């Protein structure tokens, strides 16, 4: 083939070298507009996986790279005068300039035509004249722009400013230095890349950047390659102690706003995107060079294994897109953490460090325990002491999920909540034997708090004919039977979630067609406005008038009274998921022009009236929580500022905690679905406002719960489907963590089953957390100290 490679960075050069090795007859030309010795940036960090792939694909390149590596294990977090160290992370880095020299020389030796200081021909010309065109032309890819209608790129420019710098100080570890300055929080990311220097990145939010006066230095008048020396001098002063007298080095160093690049398609005919032209991921989670070289390896392998160019490019896109999307999800979580770093500076150093290390959700409590058991032991001990200071627990060290908590005046033995899950098996709203077994079984299974499904306040407030209710005293008696069992047989507390279906009522049972309207026996539905959940499918609701509102408030109050009489320990008001009260809160569904619509204060008015009336009906010691949808996942929906204001309003009205869900307000939603995907909203409420929160949404493991609680992202975690899979999930999680205590209470008749059943022997491969080392030696706390020998 004749192959054109536009861009002579590491990704383009590595592709050319690999492709030439596998096909010596290929005619490969690389165009690079910069000179051979031009390079921007300082060091490049690689992972085990990437280096393993490079080693097998091209031992010559790997061998030359290996001679240059700075290798270390530790991450140091500098915060409030303390240095918290976590080991076992296994980093390898080298100078970017040296990496380019290795790849340039390799291409030369293999006969690749590399043309430096030369602009590539027009994309259309390349497309017509070559069998394959590799667009490795970076973040501002001209080829991607030329064919934007085909690639469908999105460029998301974020709200932090950062600057790439270097220093002749050789850091011994990956270093995060987070400091509160008179202008706000700034952070430094630093790591060594050879025996003589380190990469040094300074980052801060746009607001802090402006307050620090950097905006005045950035006039957009710098010549190519020129650095912002005025800002660099200020950085030198701000981080003088971290630099310890060493110099700050510049290389085209200016303030940048990070841009996340995504493309709906990576291939157009015989043109394929590679590296930053296809995708970017925030530098705090990984190297763009690493991703580009992985792209190159994958693309060459697909070309080698597939009969046609079209088939190879399709296979490459499928293979790499999934990996990149996963990386970008982690990078998005990481960059958002740094964008919101000011909400965490109240945390003590041990928690702050754990929070920082687990910010992307890729590194977790269990993962850190495997990498550095001493680090986790120290953070667990800190958390136990912290909880004792807060008046919770006895100071005993245990997994974080088994530390007790207080919701208002209600004590719960651990941080696990059985999330409300509609069962759709009720007849005329009556809780039955199924509900006794379902909820009683979850209580026996060790959860600290078991929540009912949404219990409806009236027949017309049901979602389906199978929903439970609290509109009669007979129903209250049925719930009392369940509450009595939970209290007598377990250490769990039980809560009632009370709500009204609003516009999403009169639908079929879930397994008959979720959110689909009943074909017979239906009832009229109501909402804040005449906005159907699925226009043309669901009923158009009638907008409530004042008389309707008064009647519904009375229904909620009566249901709260019956729940209290039945013995529930906690009452939760359902204001989420597009049901009646949610339809008032969301601007998507509330189109009213009276005092119950318009701005957030108007949209909050009726839900707050309902909450206040219920709160007044209950004894002061009986806690109430509120479930909200923190975002509608559509443009024009609830904003984060709205969510924070709603949470504060409910807290001031007497809510003991906010149960933070999202969406289900409109069928047009496009949620960013993934593991723990709703937790960041609970995190923002808790750490911005100091309000207790319950996180919910694809929290699937004890590791997730421990990570969320210990990082301070939420106080409790609500889990649904895992409890359907394993009703004894909490007890089994305790056994898996070798915990036996009052945070996981086994019923006396079950204690004989506390040990895991014996199984056949299954030897497992040891996790590969370290780089390939000489003689297989592993040291979980290696530091980069070149003067002491490699």
Look at residues 17, 11, 2 and name the one whose alpha carbon lies nearest to residue 270: 2
Indicate the burial class of 658 (C-beta count within 10 angstroms; 0-12, 13-18, 19 or more).
Answer: buried
Look at residues 210, 92, 83 and name the one whose alpha carbon lies nearest to residue 771: 92
Q: Which residues pair with 624 in a beta bridge?
A: 571
Instruction: Compute CA distances 594 → 236, 530, 583, 599, whole Å.
Output: 57, 14, 15, 11
**Residue 272 CB neighbours (<10 A):** 27
Query: How far is it between the farthest Cα atoms of the chain?
Result: 87
**Residue 65 CB neighbours (<10 A):** 21
DSSP state of 708: H
Look at residues 627, 624, 583, 588 and name the one whose alpha carbon lies nearest to residue 604: 583
Contact 572, 626 (CB under 8 A): yes
CA distance 1 to 114: 16
Dihedral sign from CA coordinates of 653, 656, 660, 663: negative
Q: List the catalytic residue out of 344, 579, 596, 739.
A: 579
Strand order in the sheet with 132-135: 113-116, 27-32, 2-6, 132-135, 271-273, 267-268
End-to-end Cα, the chain, rounded Å: 43
Listed in sequence order, the residues at least 6 apart from 19 whose beta carbon sits closer than 8 Å to its beta carbon are 3, 26, 28, 300, 303
| Three-state secondary structure of 97-162 | HHHHHHHHHHHHHHCCEEEECCCCCCHHHHHHHCCEEEECCCCCCHHHHHCHHHHCEEEEEEEEEE
CA distance 12 to 133: 11
Contact 670, 700 (CB under 8 A): no
Per DSSP, the three-state class of 698 is coil
DSSP state of 246: P
Look at residues 365, 402, 393 and name the one whose alpha carbon lies nearest to residue 735: 402
Look at residues 720, 721, 749, 750 and name the one whose alpha carbon lies nearest to residue 734: 750
- Residue 641 has φ and ψ, to the nearest 5°, of -60, -40
C-alpha angle with apex 356: 283 to 52, nearest 5 degrees?
Answer: 50
CA distance 590 to 201: 45
Look at residues 659, 620, 693, 701 and name the one whose alpha carbon lies nearest to residue 496: 659
Look at residues 240, 253, 31 and name the one whose alpha carbon lies nearest to residue 125: 31
Say whether 596 is catalytic: no
Look at residues 206, 177, 179, 207 and name the one whose alpha carbon lies nearest to residue 189: 177
Instruction: Compute CA distances 102 → 12, 31, 67, 96, whole Å.
Output: 13, 17, 11, 10
What b/e readout covers 388-413, taking b as 16+ CB neighbours within 10 angstroms?
A: eeeebbeeeebbbbbbbbbbbebebb
Q: Which residues are catalytic?
A: 579
């Amino acid at each position: 083939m004749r192959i054109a490679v536009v861009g002579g960075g590491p990704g383009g050069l590595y592709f050319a070298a690999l492709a030439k090795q596998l096909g010596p007859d290929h005619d490969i030309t690389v165009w690079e507009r910069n000179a051979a010795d031009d390079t921007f940036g300082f060091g490049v960090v690689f992972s085990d996986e990437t280096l393993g792939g490079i080693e097998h694909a091209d031992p010559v390149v790997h061998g030359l790279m290996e001679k240059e590596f700075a290798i270390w294990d530790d991450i140091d977090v500098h915060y409030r005068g303390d240095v918290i160290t976590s080991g076992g992370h296994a980093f390898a880095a080298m100078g970017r300039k040296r990496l380019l020299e290795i790849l340039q020389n390799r291409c030369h030796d293999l006969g690749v035509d590399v043309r430096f200081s030369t602009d590539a021909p027009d994309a259309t010309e390349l497309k017509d004249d070559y069998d394959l065109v590799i667009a490795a032309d970076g973040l501002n890819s001209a080829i991607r722009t030329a064919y934007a209608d085909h690639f469908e790129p999105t460029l998301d420019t974020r709200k932090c400013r950062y600057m790439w710098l270097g220093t002749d100080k050789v850091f011994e570890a990956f270093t995060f230095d987070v400091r509160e300055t008179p202008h706000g929080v700034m952070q430094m990311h630093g790591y060594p890349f050879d025996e003589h220097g380190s990469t040094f990145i300074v980052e801060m939010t746009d607001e802090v950047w402006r307050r620090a006066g950097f905006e005045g230095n950035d006039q957009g008048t710098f010549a190519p390659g020129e650095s912002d020396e005025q800002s660099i001098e200020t950085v030198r002063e701000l981080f003088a102690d971290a630099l310890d007298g060493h110099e700050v080095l510049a290389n085209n160093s200016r303030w940048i706003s990070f841009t996340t690049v995504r493309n709906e398609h990576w291939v157009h005919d015989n043109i394929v995107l590679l590296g930053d032209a296809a995708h970017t991921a925030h530098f705090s989670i990984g190297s763009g060079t690493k991703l580009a070289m992985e792209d190159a390896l994958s693309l060459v392998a697909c070309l080698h294994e597939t009969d046609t160019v079209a088939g190879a490019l399709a296979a490459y896109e499928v293979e790499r897109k999934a990996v990149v999307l996963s990386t970008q999800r982690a990078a998005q979580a990481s960059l958002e953490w740094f964008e919101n770093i000011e909400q965490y500076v109240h945390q003590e150093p041990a928690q702050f460090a754990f929070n920082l290390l687990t910010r992307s959700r890729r590194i977790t409590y269990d993962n850190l325990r495997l990498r550095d058991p001493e680090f986790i032991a120290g953070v667990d001990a800190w958390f136990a002491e912290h909880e004792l200071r807060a008046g919770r627990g006895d100071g005993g060290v245990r997994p974080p999920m088994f530390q007790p908590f207080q919701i208002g005046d209600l004590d719960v033995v651990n941080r696990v909540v059985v999330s409300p899950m509609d069962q759709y098996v009720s007849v005329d709203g009556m809780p039955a034997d199924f509900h006794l077994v379902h909820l009683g079984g979850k209580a026996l299974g060790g959860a600290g708090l078991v929540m009912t499904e949404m219990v409806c306040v009236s027949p017309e407030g049901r979602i389906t004919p199978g929903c439970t209710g609290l509109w009669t005293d007979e129903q209250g008696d049925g719930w009392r039977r369940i509450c009595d069992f939970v209290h007598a047989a377990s250490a769990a507390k039980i809560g009632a979630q009370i709500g009204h279906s609003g516009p999403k009522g009169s639908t079929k049972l879930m397994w008959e067609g979720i959110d689909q309207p009943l074909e017979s026996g239906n009832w009229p539905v109501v909402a804040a406005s005449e906005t159907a959940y699925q226009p043309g499918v669901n009923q158009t609701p009638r907008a409530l008038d004042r008389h309707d509102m008064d009647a519904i408030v009375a229904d909620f109050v009566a249901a709260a009274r019956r729940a209290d009489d039945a013995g529930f320990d906690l009452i939760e008001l359902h204001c989420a998921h597009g049901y009646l009260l949610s339809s008032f809160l969301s601007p998507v569904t509330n189109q009213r022009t009276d005092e119950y619509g318009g701005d957030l204060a108007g949209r909050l008015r009726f839900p707050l009236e309902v909450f206040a009336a219920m709160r007044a009906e209950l004894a002061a010691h009986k806690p109430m929580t509120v479930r909200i949808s923190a975002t509608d996942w559509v443009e024009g929906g609830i904003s984060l500022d709205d969510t924070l204001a709603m949470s504060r309003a409910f807290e001031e009205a007497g809510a003991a905690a906010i149960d933070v869900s999202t969406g289900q307000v409109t069928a047009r939603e496009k949620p960013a679905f993934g593991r723990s995907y709703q937790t960041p909203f609970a995190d923002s409420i808790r750490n911005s406002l100091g309000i207790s929160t319950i996180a919910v949404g694809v929290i699937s493991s004890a590791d997730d719960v421990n990570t969320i609680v210990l990082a301070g992202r939420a106080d409790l975690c609500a889990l649904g489907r895992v409890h359907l899979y394993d009703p004894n999930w909490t007890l089994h999680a305790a056994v898996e963590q070798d915990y036996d205590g009052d945070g996981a209470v086994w019923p006396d008749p079950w204690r004989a089953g506390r040990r895991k059943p014996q199984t056949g022997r299954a030897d497992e491969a040891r996790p590969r957390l370290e780089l390939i080392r000489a003689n297989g030696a592993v040291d979980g706390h290696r530091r980069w100290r070149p003067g002491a020998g490699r």
